[in-house]
Amino acid sequence: MAFQRNHVRDAERLEIGLHVLRYKSVYGVITDLARKYLVSRWFIYYCYAQFLLVLELQKELAVSVVPRVGCYATLEERVLSLYLETEASISGMRRVLNQLFGQEVSSGRISEILTEYGSLLPSHETVTCRLKFVSDEIFVGGPILVTVEPLSAYLLSLEVVESRDKVTWGACWFELVDAETGRIERIVADLAKGLVGGLEEILGTRKAGTQIFQGDLFHLIMRLVAGITRAERKAYAAITQEYDALEKFERAKSERTLLKRLAAYETAHAQAEQWMQWVDDSRYLFRELQEILRIVDVRTGELRRRTDVLAEVETILVLFEQEIAEEKLRKGAGFLREHLDALLRYFDDVEDAAQVLERAIPDAAVRQDLFRLYALQQQRRVASGTRKRWLEAQWTGCHRSLLTRIAQADYERWSQRVEQTLDAIIRSSSVVENTNGRLRRFFDSARGQITQSRLNLLRFYLNHKPFERGRRQGYSPAQLFHGEQASSEHWLTLLRRVKEAERTATT
């Protein structure tokens, strides 16, 4: 074999393959392994494909390994599997096919297979119901417009365009909505001019566009985070100056120099103390802001109301502007105030959810306990250490108290209803950022060879690939979005069926 990495033993190669099989959906795992073993990324793909082939050849294996990367019968299936399951480059697939399967395939032929299948698939889907969109832009040479349904993570549209202006975004959304029965209920996105202007373009008026646009929570509050980070840097710089002034003071010889350096030290000390105070205050205010923007007040178990939240946020922004003399923080607070209406639009959904749940769960005390359990559960999923243990203890105590007042069957039914209703409230565009991260792995290996047909293929794969962990484990975005109408078959089986239908139609 022409390709050798003698310092990586056979046992280590199998360990690499097993590790990739378990954690390949984690961002950066291929690069981390390549750095650990001092090999190329292609070598990691090779070990992965070799590991899966070994598993397939084990006769005592009761069921087939899924995904069976590179272990299919035809060249087309092997190429599609290697490209989509491992995010490999065309040159990497050439080497795997040659050295693992003995097939000499040109780069042109591999590209032709990907283009052929991608051309059979649509770039977007027309929606015939009321729907919330989450949209964003990603750049690979030129702009690519991404629109996702947030609850299922179903990719509604993935299109390469020449421009990302308001006309292009308006046309993109117009294609997604059926003229008779479809309707855009809400679009969650950052504040890019093209995105915001596209709403006015498709709806006709600025007011109509403003009413359905919701600013992404992350992008809005990050202006404050940038200010806090800058304040921390200045605080550390002030502390360094204080230490330097103290050292100079200790080296003073004459009384005149001593008094002069003492004054300099006291000034540096006062500035350091001031900056540390501002950092502590800004961190405290930011934590309070984060808590206020949550749907549920974890202390009382009540759903927050927009008017109350607006008043509390205004108070915090005033404190940022008046108490902390850091320019970037003040600008961040001002920017947040300018976009408060777009930021708090999800509280309209909270009001609707409150009315629905009041009818479903008449007892106010029970309802509040269920809300509190939901809030504690949401926070402990991302917490760690002492904070997570405290949240778990709070959840356990509230859960036990609630079960002394209602039956287990009622608890399961109502808690599921609360979770489904509140999970449907979208606060940010994080789901599209996650999608961008998954797409970026393909783009990085494509080296600029991204065409619309290639995007169509990626959209199909991501929509029909089941989630590997979490609450949606075992279900694909297509199943969650289309329900019973979606097939649970393997994505390659569905893709093969599309090819067969096209072949039948042309004969």
8 A C-beta contact, residue 56 and residue 480: no
* Percent helix, strand and coil across the chain, each to the nearest 5: 65, 10, 25
- What is the Cα–Cα distance from 128 to 6, expressed in whole angstroms? 58
CA-CA distances (angstroms) from residue 215 to 189, 335, 346, 424? 6, 12, 9, 17
8 A C-beta contact, residue 316 and residue 324: no
Residue extents of the structural domains in the chain: 10-118, 130-216+430-506, 217-344, 347-423
pLDDT at res. 64: 43
pLDDT tens per residue, range 364-405: 999 999 999 999 998 888 888 898 899 999 999 999 999 999
Confidence of residue 474 (pLDDT cuts 50, 70, 90): confident
DSSP string, 79-110: HHHHHHHH---HHHHHHHHHHHH-----HHHH
pLDDT at res. 66: 45
Q: Which class does domain 130-216+430-506 fall in?
A: alpha beta
pLDDT tens per residue, range 105-161: 888 898 898 889 888 888 888 887 778 888 888 887 788 888 998 888 899 889 888
pLDDT at res. 60: 43
Q: Which of 27-41, 200-214, 428-442 is predicted least confidently?
A: 200-214
CA-CA distances (angstroms) from residue 26 to 155, 369, 437? 20, 35, 10
- What is the Cα–Cα distance from 376 to 399, expressed in whole angstroms? 11
Q: Looking at the predicted structure, is the pLDDT value of residue 273 above 90?
A: yes
- What is the Cα–Cα distance from 29 to 441, expressed in whole angstroms? 11
Q: Looking at the predicted structure, is the pLDDT value of residue 265 above 80?
A: yes
Q: Looking at the predicted structure, is the pLDDT value of residue 34 above 70?
A: yes
Q: What Rg, from alpha-carbon coordinates, does the chain have? A: 28
Residue with tokens 């096919």: 97
- Could you tell me the pTM of the whole model? 0.78
How much of the chain exceeds pLDDT 90, in percent? 24
8 A C-beta contact, residue 71 and residue 52: yes
Mean pLDDT to the nearest integer, 212-233: 87
Mean pLDDT to the nearest integer, 465-488: 85
Q: Looking at the predicted structure, is the pLDDT value of residue 4 above 80?
A: no
- What is the Cα–Cα distance from 379 to 373, expressed in whole angstroms? 10
Write the CB contacts of 297 (distance below 8 Å, at least 6 apart in sequence).
303, 304, 375
**Three-class SS of residue 471?**
coil
Burial class (CB in 10 A: 0-12, 13-18, 19+), 455: buried
Q: Share the mean pLDDT of the chain.
A: 84
Confidence of residue 285 (pLDDT cuts 50, 70, 90): very high
Q: Looking at the predicted structure, is the pLDDT value of residue 215 above 50?
A: yes
Structure tokens, 330? 């003040």
Q: What is the DSSP letter of 390?
A: H
